[in-house]
Amino acid sequence: MKARIGIIGTGWVGTSVAFSTLLAGHARELWLHDLRIDVAEGEALDLADGAAFYPRCEVKAVPLAQMREADIVVLAAGRNGRADESRLDLLRDNARIAAGVGRSLTGFGGIVIVVTNPVDVLTRVVRSASGLPPERVIGTGTLLDTARLRQRLAVKLGVATQSVHVQMVGEHGDTSVPLWSGARVGGVPLRDWPGWQPQDEATLAQEVRRAAYEVIKRKGATNHAIGLVTAELLGCIVNDERRLLPVCRVQDDGVALSLPALVGAAGAVAVTAPAMDRAERAALVTSSDVLDRAFGTLAA
């Protein structure tokens, strides 16, 4: 099964999402939109020229109104973060864009994936502006944080990334919460792994939280990893894989943050409260409070 997938925003991130999605073969039609019409058209033409090297898909630039006919819309529009600012510092600039897109998708019958930062607050903005059910407005959330943590743990332990099982929850950003108490390496609890030291946890968590800043400092934006993450999320939806993933959505308390949810054709449903120790649970409450306050500033 393939879908009509629309991407709003053809900057660094949007084009990386498009490229990864084409290679993964999730789209039968890939629609691009940007306020810079020539850029969207140019990216569509460039990607279409590579059709011999990815599964069959029609790629074209379309007006924003046509996005309502897509099965899944990816919001990647907005400015990138700077090396000296947090994701929440982006809020006012990108919330206006997200709200406008949300209003344009009122009554939309598909699923919206929010990639633009600060992704947690903007997921809540899009949900509020569109009126769509919370399970159908999904932020990439801590999927990328989790991938970064798995990669760094794998390098430190000398094992394949696929053998490391750990999640980060809460905010995609400075208050993200690694769930060390449930981490496993090939079925072995991480804290029982030979040579593992408690101080390694704080060091690695900080590396993950600083990862984007280090990339931005060197090249100006992060784009490839989030492109791969988004394509993976799209595949879970298109193929109704019903995988438990730490994605962002508006939770029952009204705050948008990441917790494991069952992701498939219906969106991010059946949110699961993962096992956490007392410190992790307290950190998650702190992360939720930070995000709730950030959303509240938009009304100020």
**Which residues sit in the known binding site?**
9-14, 34, 94, 115-117
Helical H segments across the chain, by residue range: 12-24, 37-48, 91-104, 119-130, 143-157, 198-219, 224-238, 278-296
Catalytic, out of 26, 33, 165, 172: 172
**Cα–Cα distance between 75 and 14 in angstroms, integer?**
8
Active site residue 26: no
Residue 165, strand partner residues: 184
* Tokens linked to 14: 């949007």
DSSP result, 195-261: T--HHHHHHHHHHHHHHHHHHHHHHS---HHHHHHHHHHHHHHHTT--EEEEEEEE-TTS-EEEEEE
Dihedral of CA 290/82/153/119: which sign?
positive
**Cα–Cα distance between 285 and 273 in angstroms, integer?**
13
Binding residues for NAD(+): 9-14, 34, 94, 115-117
Residue at token pair 């290679």: 23
Specify whether the CB–CB gap between 75 and 132 falls below 8 A.
no
**Cα–Cα distance between 83 and 106 in angstroms, integer?**
34
Point out the residues that are catalytic. Answer: 172
